[in-house]
Chains A and B, each alone.
Chain A
Amino acid sequence: MTAATDNPNTASRKLDTGKERQARIVGAILIVFALLVMFAFAPDQAGNATFRLSRPTDVWVLPNLVVPSGPFIYVSAALLAFLGVRQFVRGGGKWTSLSLGVGLAILVLAFLVWATTGKAFSLTGMLQATMVRAVPIALGGLAGVLSERVAVVNIAIEGMLLAGAFTGALVGSVLGGMGGLVAAIAVGGMFGFILAALVVTYRMDQIIAGVVINLFVLGLTSYISSQVFQEYRFLNNAPVFRAIKIPILGDIPVIGPMLFNQNIFVYGALIMVAVATYYLFYTRMGLRARSVGEHPQAADTLGINVYRTRYVNVTLAGMVAGFGGAWFTLGAVGRFDEGMTGGRGYIGLAAMIFGRWHPVGALMAALVFGFADSLQQKLALLNTPIPSDFLAMAPYIATIIVVAGLIGRARAPAADGKPYIKE
């Protein structure tokens, strides 16, 4: 309100105020971070934080990384304060999102150093766990990208993950891991097809359709799990895919164990992200799919079959989510538990928005969530005074901040969520 009275003359001025206000908000957040690092992390700063970079069994052993806590925390606080003040005084443009990103990274590093002070901590192990935990989120996000690029909002990712997990366990117990994996992909694709049928052909509200699929899958898998698995336990005892180490590359310190000594789900996720990027942005099919998401009328006029494109892409999204779902059973524990996906599908959706509707962006965002997830696990070992409940909340709060557009405003495909009725 005040901005309008201060500059009543120009319209362009008014358009800027949103960004300026955003820049100031980010500046204030960064200054709060600086104060937090300065005062909350400073008291225990005597001593060093030791990060182990390799394990004794590794081929090439790196020395431990020893960080003096006190200086590191003061430097972090100073950097954050500088970024904040700079943002406050003359922020705006692309600097806003960059500063906030860098600021968050500094905050996390300072926090890690503070929590590890006087102790040792395996950085490699945590990065490996980050990658593993990012897989279902990244695949969920990728499924979201594929369907939202053709303007179908996909809340049903959670249900598709759950269906994939369930099918993986059931079929995997009978036919072995590979059979379970193929079946999980098929069932995921089936739910993608059902979603497409509901929203494209029967023009059901897309969010309602997604919510209903989630409820249905949760009900069905819980029912079968308590009705059948209780009695026939051998049906819920699937083999787990072991890690495959890629020769030479797997021996590289730090990133070797993270990227090249994992099971097929990690490799599969990385390959799928690459293939999806190529498909969406470098092929004719992908261009058509994106045009359906941006302006279905125009696409239709040019002879693209809007309905078929939506069916195909949403089914593909379901298959990706089914693969991601199989991770929970075939890639981790080998058995299905009721509701075991625990909201990862929704976090995948947030990763998609965080990653600005781009497969690589979704993967990066998923890594951030995976990092927070594994951080929470490891910090329980380090005995920090912060309750673990609050650490567990951190990724969700970060998601809200992201969705609120504080880290650069992401733009959804123009026709996202709207049904298309052919004239």
Chain B
Amino acid sequence: MTDQATKDLMSRKLLGRTEFEDMIVVPVFAIIVALILGALTMLATNVDLATVGQSYVALLRGSVGSLNAISETLTSAAPLILAGLGLALGFRAGLFNIGAEGQLLMGGMAAVVFGFSFPNVPSVILMPACLMTGALAGALYASIAGWLRAATGAHEVISTIMLNLISYRLLDYMLRLPFVQKEGRSDPISKSVPDAAELPRLLTFIDPNLRVHAGIFVTLLAVALVYWLLFKSKLGFEFRASGENPEAARFAGMRSGLIIVLAMAAAGGLAGLAGANQVLGVLGRATPGFSAGIGFNAIAVALLGRSHPVGVLFAGLLFGALEAGGRQMQVDAGVSIDLIGIIQALIIVFVAAPLLVRAIFPWGFRKSSTTRQ
């Protein structure tokens, strides 16, 4: 599953010339090309040049231009990073998990149900317990696909896509259950999470509208934890070994089936945590499709971050900034936020195909395309 660049990255410790190119030069070129192509798209759809300039200014202003913008960027980035970490972990273990969206929905739903079921528990216990429930639900949902892969060889790409589609229906069904649905409503919407379960907002003393919440600490903790798990623990070594070369890992006495299930469960747990983070920190309740595509964007984040926890952190921040800036762009310049989707996809094309970037930009790279077969 992993491309050659990722393999190079994993097998060496030192940052050589090639690694530097792959980790820094390629993404930077990718972002530049994607922004240029985004501008061309706008021009093609009858947006004049002044508005194009205005929209990129708005993109910058809405992402890092003010305290509110930074708060929005961090709020958008947190779930992307969490889910992206899970996917990165899966990629390292050779599993292409497309199911973060469904795992996120299940995790968020479980956190909401747990939250409103115990409204009188103090916050110190309830909030972490809700997060854990979310992670557990995501882990269980993902391990269905892991078990299917380990036991029957069913490819996780298809089974996680199907589990995504199932999760939408399951969510719609659950949101109409009498004990979940908000009292007096006929549309599918859950009861609200009690205040004690919510992730507290951090900067309300400056401005009550700043939405950044304690979820960013959870996120940073998760980055550190995944780094430790992948690179410092025995289990992480087994994940990476099975991802690199399943045969060799099996001959070395690793139990490949168990590793697949555990890797999927860990990935789902992180996606579930992202869902819990959304409902407890931002939304306050569950509604149909509250995941809003985070699970799919997280795939892009994990790829852009080269499946490395620190890379995922920065990629998540970039995508969070694009989301927050895109909203500003829509307001200021009247350019649809869907443009951000195009830019994100283009960034991934160029990052995932280093040969393509090398073909477009022959300068900036050493004559390295021959050495990387």
What's the least CB distance linking A206 to chain B, in Å?
Answer: 10
A219 touches B303 (CB 8 A): no
Contacts of B348 in A (CB 8 A): 208, 212, 215
Name the one of B3, B96, B148, B352 contacting A400, with C-beta atoms under 8 angstroms. B148
Contacts of B335 in A (CB 8 A): 227
B98 touches A211 (CB 8 A): yes
Contacts of A268 in B (CB 8 A): none
Q: How far is the CA of A350 from the CA of B170 in the complex (A)?
A: 20
Q: Does A349 contact B (CB under 8 A)?
A: yes
User: Of residues A205, A212, A227, which shows the largest number of chain B Cβ atoms within 10 Å of its Cβ?
Assistant: A212
Q: Does B300 contact A (CB under 8 A)?
A: yes
What's the least CB distance linking A338 to chain B, in Å?
Answer: 8
Of all chain A residues, which has the CB nearest B149? A404
Q: Does A343 contact B (CB under 8 A)?
A: yes
Contact A205/B336 with A396-B165, A399-B158 known, Cβ cut-off 8 Å: no
Q: Does B219 contact A (CB under 8 A)?
A: no
Contacts of A216 in B (CB 8 A): 341-342, 345-346, 349
A226 touches B161 (CB 8 A): no
Q: Does A249 contact B (CB under 8 A)?
A: no
B339 touches A223 (CB 8 A): yes
Q: Does B283 contact A (CB under 8 A)?
A: no
Q: Does A105 contact B (CB under 8 A)?
A: no
Name the one of B1, B155, B173 contacting A389, with C-beta atoms under 8 angstroms. B173
Q: How far is the CA of A392 from the CA of B171 in the complex (A)?
A: 12
Name the one of A198, A228, A400 contacting B154, with C-beta atoms under 8 angstroms. A400
B353 touches A204 (CB 8 A): yes
Q: Does A207 contact B (CB under 8 A)?
A: yes
Contact A215/B300 with A222-B341, A350-B162 known, Cβ cut-off 8 Å: yes
A212 touches B349 (CB 8 A): yes
A226 touches B158 (CB 8 A): no
Contacts of A225 in B (CB 8 A): 338
Which range holds the interface residue count of chain B?
35 or more
B352 touches A208 (CB 8 A): yes
Contacts of A346 in B (CB 8 A): 158, 161-162, 165
Contacts of B342 in A (CB 8 A): 216, 219-220, 223
Q: Does B299 contact A (CB under 8 A)?
A: yes
What's the least CB distance linking B286 to chain A, in Å?
Answer: 15
B1 touches A219 (CB 8 A): no
A202 touches B169 (CB 8 A): no
Contact A202/B162 with A223-B341, A223-B342, A389-B172 known, Cβ cut-off 8 Å: no
Contact A389/B170 with A202-B353, A399-B158 known, Cβ cut-off 8 Å: yes
What's the least CB distance linking A161 to chain B, in Å?
Answer: 14
Q: How far is the CA of A225 from the CA of B344 in the complex (A)?
A: 18
Q: Does A282 contact B (CB under 8 A)?
A: no
B157 touches A155 (CB 8 A): yes
Contacts of B165 in A (CB 8 A): 343, 346, 393, 396
Of all chain A residues, which has the CB nearest B98? A211
B166 touches A397 (CB 8 A): yes
A353 touches B338 (CB 8 A): no
Contacts of A228 in B (CB 8 A): 45-46
Contact residues, B24-42 vs A (CB, 8 A)? 41
Contact residues, A351-400 vs B (CB, 8 A)? 353, 387, 389-390, 392-393, 396-397, 399-400
Q: How far is the CA of A208 from the CA of B3 in the complex (A)?
A: 10
Contacts of B237 in A (CB 8 A): none
B158 touches A349 (CB 8 A): yes
What's the least CB distance linking A366 to chain B, in Å?
Answer: 15
What's the least CB distance linking A143 to chain B, in Å?
Answer: 16
Of all chain A residues, which has the CB nearest B162? A396
Query: B142-172 CB contact bits vs A (8 Å, 1 = yes)?
Result: 0000001001111101110111011001101
Contacts of B299 in A (CB 8 A): 211
Contacts of A390 in B (CB 8 A): 169, 173
Of all chain A residues, which has the CB nearest B346? A216
Name the one of A204, A215, A226 contacting B345, with C-beta atoms under 8 angstroms. A215
Q: Does B331 contact A (CB under 8 A)?
A: no
Contacts of A204 in B (CB 8 A): 3, 349, 352-353, 355-356
What's the least CB distance linking A377 to chain B, in Å?
Answer: 15
What's the least CB distance linking B34 to chain A, in Å?
Answer: 10
Name the one of A205, A218, A392, A404 contacting B152, with C-beta atoms under 8 angstroms. A404
Q: Does B370 contact A (CB under 8 A)?
A: no
What's the least CB distance linking A25 to chain B, in Å?
Answer: 10
A405 touches B169 (CB 8 A): no
Contact A202/B355 with A223-B338, A390-B173, A403-B154 known, Cβ cut-off 8 Å: yes
Q: How far is the CA of A338 from the CA of B45 in the complex (A)?
A: 17
What's the least CB distance linking A269 to chain B, in Å?
Answer: 22
Contacts of A349 in B (CB 8 A): 158
Name the one of A212, A338, A353, A421 contacting B352, with C-beta atoms under 8 angstroms. A212
B155 touches A403 (CB 8 A): yes
What's the least CB distance linking B43 to chain A, in Å?
Answer: 12
Q: Does A209 contact B (CB under 8 A)?
A: yes
Q: How far is the CA of A338 from the CA of B289 in the complex (A)?
A: 15
Contacts of A3 in B (CB 8 A): none
Q: Does A109 contact B (CB under 8 A)?
A: no
Contacts of B356 in A (CB 8 A): 198, 202, 204
Q: Does A203 contact B (CB under 8 A)?
A: yes
Q: How far is the CA of A141 from the CA of B157 in the complex (A)?
A: 16
Q: Does A224 contact B (CB under 8 A)?
A: yes
Of all chain A residues, which has the CB nearest B359? A202
A403 touches B158 (CB 8 A): yes
B41 touches A223 (CB 8 A): yes
Q: Does B186 contact A (CB under 8 A)?
A: no
The 11 sampled A-B contact pairs (Cβ below 8 Å) are A198-B353, A198-B356, A207-B96, A219-B338, A219-B343, A219-B344, A222-B341, A227-B45, A393-B169, A400-B159, A403-B154
What are the 10 tightest A-B residue pairs by CB atom distance, in nearest-first order? Answer: A219-B341, A216-B345, A223-B338, A389-B173, A219-B342, A222-B338, A215-B345, A204-B353, A404-B154, A404-B152
Besides the known contacts A222-B341, A393-B170, 12 further A-B residue pairs in the complex with CB atoms under 8 A apart: A201-B355, A202-B355, A215-B300, A219-B338, A219-B343, A223-B336, A346-B158, A393-B166, A403-B162, A404-B148, A404-B154, A405-B154
